[in-house]
Amino acid sequence: MAEISYINPLSEEGKRIIHEYGDLNQLNQEDDDLVNIIIHTQNQKISDDSIIPKTYKDLAINRIKWAIEKKNNKNFVNQEYEYFFNQDIFEADVIAFHILCQAIAIQFNVTSRETRMFIEYQGKLIEERLSKIAPSLRYQIIDDILRDISTDGSIKWTSLKDVISSKKLSLMQLLLDDGEIILEKEEFLEKYGNKFDGRPADKIYDIIVGQKLKELILSRLIMQNTEEYIKRIKEMSKHVELHPFIIELAEELKEMIPEEIGKYNTFYAGSGGIYGTVKGGKLVPEAFPPCIQNTIDGVSSGGRNDAIVLLLTSFISYARLYPSIFGSDEPIKVSDIDTDLSITENEILPLIYEAADNCSPPLFDDQPQEKLNIISKLGFGLHSEINLENEGETKWYTPMSCEKIKMHLPQLCKEDKSCKGLNNPLSCYGRRKYQIDKNKKEESS
């Protein structure tokens, strides 16, 4: 029988393991028991010594590497991480999970890509672990954990409202009766057993509820609880200093994550922010397309507000942080790239405010509220300053297309040959930048 904490590290059993572990300094020491478990794991690939984590800290780092590789590496070899599916690892894994939650909480924003990836892959780890347990034992452990999580023996859909609102689970996936989720076969048969003419009700149960839904609810609840746990640690870390080992691990994650992702995704490789400066890097004003240069030079009262708040704010922020937005379908936030918002504070906002000042009359003189709108278009809600706590209250507004600019701000569009065949100023900026680089190379050679 698998231990409960092998699936739910936040269980009482998981807390007891942490409590009994004691001194965090030993996390850096080689642990023979851990190595033994790993080398005796069935199907474990050990062709290379570096595959085997020797310390609990290595194990924690490898948990993150597993998630990154699984997500990005097309040639991912599961057997290199087979030990994560050996039930004997449960105690070491519970400790790795908890120290990672602490390091992530102090290093990253709760809504950052890094935290989201950690939580998402905690869910995937649970699902994969469950799938490797024999069905009868699996059903039993799922029931035990669900009973453990639900306080009064039943699960009401309202207890899942956070999971549903975070889109980790859809209300459409649940079978509800008077606000309660029908999960047990006996309950289903009692309520609906005589409602299906000519079709066995237990087969219908397997189709519309079944074990799969229980597994899904279980993994989503643990993901939700992990997120809340990280939030609590973050809050607590404002008042209590965490152990130096956790701070060291947090620093290591900050370096390691972009490095590892960069191996598989050159788009994210680079420096300056957890996902690198992307291809954008420092702004090249000479490459700004005519509409942007005209906006920076100052706009008269006619289209002032739209030019600064809608056109320039989105253009400058994406050109600096994420110029390939139109080639990506992943949701992205400013802090995914500019983790401490220093680029936004020191490079992006000053340029926008300067352009606002160049307007005639200066935009903020008679409309100071437009500052709030600029912050809101960067995704930080209607506030006077950017703050990680508010990120996500609004969406990071994507750059306007040439078509829209021509329609709403025709005085700014002075199309030239660099705009030919393109449909937004960002592409035009990319083309001009490329041309400038090429010219420089030719000149120097």
Q: Restricting to residues 154-183, name those near ligand SF4 by CB under 6 A.
A: none
Q: Restricting to residues 394-413, name those near ligand SF4 by CB under 6 A.
A: 402, 405, 413
Spell out the residues 6+ positions from residue 105 whose beta carbon is closer than 8 angstroms to its own.
Answer: 230, 231, 233, 234, 237
Give the residue with the Cβ less far from ligand SF4, 383 or 404.
404
Question: In angstroms, what is the minimal distance from the CB of 228 to ligand SF4?
Answer: 45
Distance, CA of 387 to CA of 370 (rounded, Å): 17
Question: In angstroms, what is the minimal distance from the CB of 417 to ligand SF4?
Answer: 10
Specify the 3-state DSSP secondary structure of 80.
helix
Q: How many CB atoms lie within 10 A of CB 276?
A: 21
Which of 343, 342, 351, 346 is CA-nearest to residue 321?
343
Confirm or reject binding of residue 426 to ligand SF4 (CB under 6 A): no
Question: In angstroms, what is the minimal distance from the CB of 422 to ligand SF4?
Answer: 7
Distance, CA of 288 to CA of 313 (rounded, Å): 13
Give the residue with the Cβ less far from ligand SF4, 104 or 311.
311
- Residues facing residue 378 across a β-bridge: 396
Residue 59 in tokens: 């194990």
Inter-CA distances, 51 with 44, 70, 88, 235, Å: 10, 15, 18, 35
Beta carbons of 27 and 57 less than 8 angstroms apart: yes
Which amino acid makes up residue 315? F
Per-residue HEC secondary structure of 323-349 comes to CCHHHCCCCCCHHHHCCCCHHHHHHHH
Question: In angstroms, what is the minimal distance from the CB of 323 to ligand SF4?
Answer: 14
Give the residue with the Cβ less far from ligand SF4, 261 or 291.
291
Inter-CA distances, 157 with 164, 171, 173, 178, Å: 9, 8, 11, 10
Question: In angstroms, what is the minimal distance from the CB of 399 to ligand SF4?
Answer: 10
Beta carbons of 322 and 390 less than 8 angstroms apart: no
Beta carbons of 118 and 50 less than 8 angstroms apart: no
Give the residue with the Cβ less far from ligand SF4, 56 or 315.
315
Distance, CA of 103 to CA of 99 (rounded, Å): 6
Question: In angstroms, what is the minimal distance from the CB of 415 to ligand SF4?
Answer: 4
Q: Restricting to residues 195-214, name those near ligand SF4 by CB under 6 A.
A: none
Inter-CA distances, 440 with 112, 170, 270, 280, 376, Å: 37, 54, 22, 18, 38
Question: In angstroms, what is the minimal distance from the CB of 292 to ligand SF4?
Answer: 7
**What string marks each residue from 36 to 55 as x (binds ligand SF4 by CB under 6 A) or -?**
--------------------
Q: Restricting to residues 260-319, name those near ligand SF4 by CB under 6 A.
A: 289-291
Q: Among 428, 430, 432, 433, which residue interacts with ligand SF4 (rule: CB under 6 A)?
A: 428
Question: In angstroms, what is the minimal distance from the CB of 294 to ligand SF4?
Answer: 8
Q: Among 231, 414, 438, 440, which residue interacts with ligand SF4 (rule: CB under 6 A)?
A: 414
Give the residue with the Cβ less far from ligand SF4, 100 or 405.
405
Which amino acid makes up residue 439? N
Give the residue with the Cβ less far from ligand SF4, 99 or 291.
291
**What string marks each residue from 211 to 250 as x (binds ligand SF4 by CB under 6 A) or -?**
----------------------------------------
Beta carbons of 201 and 189 less than 8 angstroms apart: yes
Give the residue with the Cβ less far from ligand SF4, 95 or 292.
292
Give the residue with the Cβ less far from ligand SF4, 89 or 426.
426
Q: Among 419, 430, 431, 432, which residue interacts with ligand SF4 (rule: CB under 6 A)?
A: 419
Question: In angstroms, what is the minimal distance from the CB of 424 to ligand SF4?
Answer: 7
Specify the 3-state DSSP secondary structure of 443.
helix
Give the residue with the Cβ less far from ligand SF4, 312 or 402.
402
# residues contacting ligand SF4 (CB under 6 A): 11
Question: In angstroms, what is the minimal distance from the CB of 49 to ligand SF4?
Answer: 55
Question: In angstroms, what is the minimal distance from the CB of 313 to ligand SF4?
Answer: 15
Q: Which residues of 193-217 are buried (b: 16+ CB within 10 A; e: fewer)?
A: eeeeeeeebeebbeeebebebbbbb
Distance, CA of 94 to CA of 85 (rounded, Å): 13
Residues near ligand SF4 (CB under 6 A) are 289-291, 402, 405, 413-415, 419, 425, 428
